[in-house]
């Protein structure tokens, strides 16, 4: 399944680039992520729990960053095994371009599943994949931008097993 979208993030490209390379940002943004260890150069080991339709699985896998063009684009790829539930692999090609004091973040996501998950049917898998991509990039945007001036600061409540993250924490952290 292939899907594409874009978001305008109210931060300069250097801030967005630093965030997408930060393992803590990735951990908070990946829905269902229990742990993420490693580095951008060597890749990450991840544990993610997800429920797809009637199937709930704990995936262990590897996430890598490749095709890196410093400050402009990269590919985030992941592959995980969920035991009896099956396996999943996917990638997101991410590009960043300056856009009137902000950054236009464009992405193309490609997802493939096998095993019991594949038996759920393409409609369920496609919907789930779109939801996961939207959640990841929405959380990423929130982590980078911070609250709007007229909005009180809120705590984003994660899914089961995820630590809550304050809205805009990454941008505040690198601004110090």
42-69 confidence digits (pLDDT tens): 999 999 998 887 888 898 999 999 999 9
Please check whether residue 148 is in contact with residue 34, taking contact to mean a CB–CB distance below 8 angstroms: no
Pairing of strands 33-39, 43-52: antiparallel
Residue 33 confidence (pLDDT):
92
Token couple for 133 = 């991509």
Q: Answer whether residue 76 shows pLDDT above 70.
A: yes
Rounded CA gap, 59 and 70, in Å?
30
CA distance 90 to 170: 25
pLDDT band at 156 (very low <50, low <70, confident <90, very high): very low
Q: Specify the DSSP class assigned to residue 150.
A: T
Rg (CA), the chain: 16
Query: Does an H or E element contain 49, and which?
Result: strand 43-52
Say whether pLDDT at 40 is over 50.
Answer: yes
| pTM value > 0.85 | no
Q: Which residue has the higher pLDDT, 27 or 158?
A: 27
- Considering only CA atoms, which of 150, 172, 151, 176 is closest in space to residue 19? 172
């Amino acid at each position: 399944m292939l899907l594409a979208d874009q978001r305008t993030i109210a931060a300069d490209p250097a801030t967005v680039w630093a965030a997408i390379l930060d393992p803590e940002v990735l951990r908070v943004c990946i829905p269902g992520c229990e742990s993420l260890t490693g580095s951008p150069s060597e890749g990450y080991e991840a544990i993610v729990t997800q429920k797809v339709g009637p199937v709930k699985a704990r995936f262990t896998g590897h996430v890598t960053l490749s095709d890196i063009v410093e400050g402009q684009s990269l590919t985030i790829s992941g592959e995980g095994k969920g035991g009896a539930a099956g396996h999943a692999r996917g990638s997101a090609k991410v590009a960043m371009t300056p856009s009137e004091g902000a950054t236009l973040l464009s992405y193309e996501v490609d997802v493939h599943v096998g095993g019991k998950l594949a038996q759920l049917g393409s409609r369920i898998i496609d919907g789930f994949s779109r939801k996961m991509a939207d959640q990841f990039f929405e959380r990423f945007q929130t982590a980078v931008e911070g609250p709007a001036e007229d909005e009180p600061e809120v705590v984003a409540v994660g899914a089961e097993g995820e630590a809550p993250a304050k809205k805009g924490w990454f941008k505040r952290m690198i601004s110090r």
